[in-house]
Structure 1
Amino acid sequence: MSLHRLPDVMQTPHDNQRMRLIHPLRMAPIKLVQNRLLVWPLAVALAIGIGLVNASNYPAIASTKLVAGEQVELSVLVYNIEYSGDASTDRVIREIDADIVGVLESYNRLPEIARKTGYPYYNVGLQLLSKFPILEPSGAEGLYSLIEVEPGYVVAFFNTHLDYVKYGPSRLVKGFSEKAVTQSEIIVRANSINILTPDIASLIGQGYPVFLTGDLNSPSSLDYTKATVGTRAGIDSAMRWPVSEALFKAGMRDAYRDVHRNPVLVPGITMVDPDFSKGGSGDRIDYIYAGGPSTTLTSTVVGELGGPDVGIGFKKWTSDHRAVLSTFQVTPVALPTTVSLNTRMLNQGDTLNVRYNAPGYSSTTVIVVPEGATKSAALLTNSTSESGSTSFATAALSPDGYDIVMLS
């Protein structure tokens, strides 16, 4: 599958720049569609000098410097459950009981999975399950969320699934040159991950703890080294894989290799490619990456009981991928000046819940306007305070795109 949501590359949502809500901060509109399960994402515009619908029409609310909180321990699971999963994959998620789960291939089952596994928060667009509130902040354009791991304190979280076509290790086994494989990796997968890396690097630079889970359908440069040459089919020389290199350049760490530094002794295979025709034993393509103020404490493969390098085993394992569980010591940061949503996908009649934060402003207003409109076109208005939550009924809104704006 391709990378979820492939909008224009954007700047961080926390710049102190006034700009229009167009490229690079264009956000896809919400579509309030009657009697449909799947709807379009919601546009969030925050009048704080970033992501403005129209900079000339909204006064700026000053952004605040990020404040670090107390350290917390956080567990993260990445799990491709294969074709929406089943009762067995639900059981794995429930028994592992990670704080945050990056799910792949949940399709339309995520609400059901959340209910059956006991997770109070989920996000369909990002395929996340969480024990903590999931906020989609202004400017993020659906590419990442802020997860409130402690009241008022957050980490940034990405979850993605890159395309599986022209799978690099298979092509190496079939005789394609490293140059040809590298080029196809760039076109098929690295170009997609590079939609995320500008935001990853910016968030890390601002002091956020940043996590990325995903089935990246690509090996890591840390696994194709001089030491691993000849250990399995296709590894004929050390090789730099573009997706991992892009994430390293953005400031991310490979959590599994933080703990298991020797890829010869602990390959940590998560996917056995059925197209291997010469005895290849698969690759590690399911990852948890971390950046910013965090330390990896543990990392283990979750899979079939007795499987190679499987640290947590289950007698019944139905997915074609193994999962990975990592724990971290994390320093979250205070929720920034922002307007956030718990979901950018609504049906007409659903309640629109908005979380807002404007430190230093005792009186604010949150309005709903047609996409791209000025404040004079406000359809819904709530008086708000410095920080908190507010909600809007959407039954009277026609199916269309809308912007959520906070005013001082």
Structure 2
Amino acid sequence: MKRTLLLALAALAALAAACRGGDPVRFTVLQWNIWQEGTVVEGGYDALVDEIARLRPDFVTLSEVRNYGGTRFSERIVRSLAERGVRYYSFLSDDSGLLSRHPIADSATVYPLADDHGSIYRLTASVAGRPVAVYTAHLDYLDCAYYNVRGYDGSTWRRIEPETSVEEILRVNTASRRDDAIRAFLRQAREDEAQGYAVVLGGDFNEPSHLDWTPETVGLCDRQGVCVPWTVSTLLAEAGYADAYRTVHPDPLTHPGHTYPSDNASLAPERLTWAPEADERERIDFVYYKGEGLRAVEAKVYGPQGSVVRGRRAEERTADEFLTPGSAVWPTDHKGVWVLFEMR
């Protein structure tokens, strides 16, 4: 019964969209790793609430939700946002989280957290009568093979010889559970696609993109001259999902879009790096999408313009467009990704 009703609603929404013409529906998505709920930086939690209230994205995909001390982070942040005059909806989750300015029709666990190997959650909502399925992902942080390339073990972060064999890099990479989680997402998302939903996935993937490790970029950021067809981004591309940032800014040379490690004026640089003797800058926070008439029209790096390079603060001198924080406190060691979508 429920599936029949959802199919009927999706069909009606598609028919209404076809008849409407005119201006497209617009909505915004913010992907943000909030670094242990903003607890690492003094004043971090209030800063992240203030920033969400200021930006008011339609959907926020969160990484590093912990529910410390038996608290429910989703309820706490919704309450804090309401105190600032902004209404959001959410539901209980662990490790990753979702906020929506639109009433949530349904929510589900797609890839449950187990032994800190990552998680994926899903919500469905309606934006101006159009059905949308939004997913949040915080993928496994172990077997983080892009560190192996830079001379650090991607599970222990001890110094090793830099790995330059693509076969070995991918072997380490797929020893993680990141690909398992994304396959679970793709199985669920196929049902959403069949029902006419526009699908959006935001997350901290703890893995780079094959669109960034190209022949033109092999000399950047200690990549040791190798091109790597990174697993998660390749799986998503093969399934027809578009990388929002790379769609709007297709050149990784001019717009690398680094999201980690972000500078943070509140902390010493050594608190912000896993590889203090390397240039570990990467774009590991993403927003992906797929759907009839859905397209990304703007995409910005959200956060401070500075990064950490070889254990030191460094300004990013790229063509990336930055969405500057309004708060004096930056609550995290990541930069976020802000995307404006249109649906026709």
Same fold (TM over 0.5): yes
Partner of 2:253: 264
Query: Highest relative contact order (Cα 8 Å, sep 6+), 1 or 2?
Result: 1
Paired residue type of 1:165: L
Paired residue type of 1:100: F
Match of 1:93 among 26, 32, 52: 52
Match of 2:340 among 314, 322, 327: 327
TM-score, length-scaled by structure 2: 0.73
> Once structures 1 and 2 are overlaid, which stretch shifts more, 176-185 or 159-168?
176-185
Which digits, 9 at most, give the CA deviation of each residue in 1:135-169, with x for residues without a partner? 22699798422112135x31111111101112121
Q: Is the contact made by 1:198 and 1:250 (CA closer than 8 Å) also made in structure 2? A: no
Cα RMSD over matched residues?
2.5
Partner of 2:99: 129
Task: Point out the structure with max Rg over C-alpha.
Answer: 1
Partner of 1:186: 174
Partner of 2:241: 252
Over 3 Å counting, the alpha-carbon distance change for 1:131 and 1:47 in structure 2 is: closer
Partner of 1:406: none
Partner of 1:297: 297
Partner of 2:115: none
TM-score, length-scaled by structure 1: 0.62
How many angstroms does 1:260 deviate by? Answer: 0.9
Q: Is the contact made by 1:80 and 1:105 (CA closer than 8 Å) also made in structure 2? A: yes
**Which structure 1 residue ranges, 5 or more long, are not aligned?**
1-45, 50-60, 332-408
* Mapped partners of 2:214, 2:274: distance in 1: 23
Which digits, 9 at most, give the CA deviation of each residue in 1:80-123, with x for residues without a partner? 11111111222221212111111112322222222222233112
Q: Is 1:155 matched with 2:132?
A: yes
Compare the two structures and name the one with the higher helix fraction. 2
Q: Is the contact made by 1:170 and 1:234 (CA closer than 8 Å) also made in structure 2? A: no
* Mapped partners of 2:229, 2:214: distance in 1: 9
* Mapped partners of 1:304, 1:137: distance in 2: 33
How many angstroms does 1:270 deviate by? Answer: 0.4
Q: Is the contact made by 1:215 and 1:287 (CA closer than 8 Å) also made in structure 2? A: yes
Please list, as runs of the form range in 1=range in 2, the aligned pairs for 1:1-400 lying within 5 A after superposition.
64=8, 66-67=11-12, 68=14, 69-70=16-17, 71-85=24-38, 86-108=45-67, 109-117=73-81, 118-125=86-93, 127-136=97-106, 143-151=121-129, 153-174=130-151, 175-176=162-163, 177-188=165-176, 189-272=178-261, 274-293=273-292, 294-304=294-304, 308=316, 309=320, 311-314=322-325, 315-331=328-344
Which digits, 9 at most, give the CA deviation of each residue in 1:2-26, with x for residues without a partner? xxxxxxxxxxxxxxxxxxxxxxxxx
* Mapped partners of 1:136, 1:178: distance in 2: 41
SS of aligned partner of 1:326: strand
SS of aligned partner of 1:212: strand
SS of aligned partner of 1:74: strand
Which digits, 9 at most, give the CA deviation of each residue in 1:159-212, with x for residues without a partner? 111011121211111223322221222231112211111222343344321000
Q: Is the contact made by 2:300 and 2:321 (CA closer than 8 Å) also made in structure 1? A: yes
SS of aligned partner of 1:318: coil
Q: Is the contact made by 1:233 and 1:278 (CA closer than 8 Å) also made in structure 2? A: no
* Mapped partners of 1:138, 1:278: distance in 2: 41
**Which structure 2 residue ranges, 5 or more long, are not aligned?**
18-23, 39-44, 68-72, 112-119, 152-161, 262-271, 307-314
Paired residue type of 2:338: L
Paired residue type of 2:37: S
Aligned length: 274
| Segments ≥4 residues shifted beyond 4 Å | 46-49, 137-143
How many angstroms does 1:299 deviate by? Answer: 0.3
Percent sequence identity over matched residues? 28
Q: Is the contact made by 2:150 and 2:280 (CA closer than 8 Å) also made in structure 1? A: no
Which digits, 9 at most, give the CA deviation of each residue in 1:56-89, with x for residues without a partner? xxxxx89547241434101000001111111122
Q: Is the contact made by 2:240 and 2:290 (CA closer than 8 Å) also made in structure 1? A: yes
Over 3 Å counting, the alpha-carbon distance change for 1:231 and 1:66 in structure 2 is: same
Paired residue type of 1:234: R
* Mapped partners of 2:89, 2:186: distance in 1: 26
